[in-house]
Homo-oligomer: A and B are copies of this chain.
Amino acid sequence: MTFALDARLAADTAALGDWPLCRVLAMRDARYPWLVLVPRRDGAVELTDLTPQDRAALIEEVARAADALNAETRADKINVGALGNVVAQLHVHVVARRRGDFAWPGPVWGNGASLLYAPEDWSAFTRAMAARLGFSPGA
**Total count of chain A residues near the partner, CB < 8 A:** 33
A57 CB to nearest B CB, Å: 9
Q: Which residues of B contact A47 (CB under 8 A)?
A: 59, 62-63, 66, 78, 80
* Interface flags, A63-102, vs B, CB<8A=1, else 0: 1001100100000011111111110000000000100000
The stretch among A15-23, A103-111, A116-124, A128-136 that forms the contact with chain B is A103-111
A58 on the B face (CB < 8 A):
yes
The stretch among A5-13, A28-36, A48-56 that forms the contact with chain B is A48-56
* Docked-complex contact B79 and A79, CB < 8 angstroms: no
Q: Which residues of B contact A83 (CB under 8 A)?
A: 77, 79-81, 107
Mark A residues whose CB is within 8 Å of B. Answer: 45-48, 52, 55-56, 58-60, 62-63, 66-67, 70, 77-86, 97, 103-107, 109-110
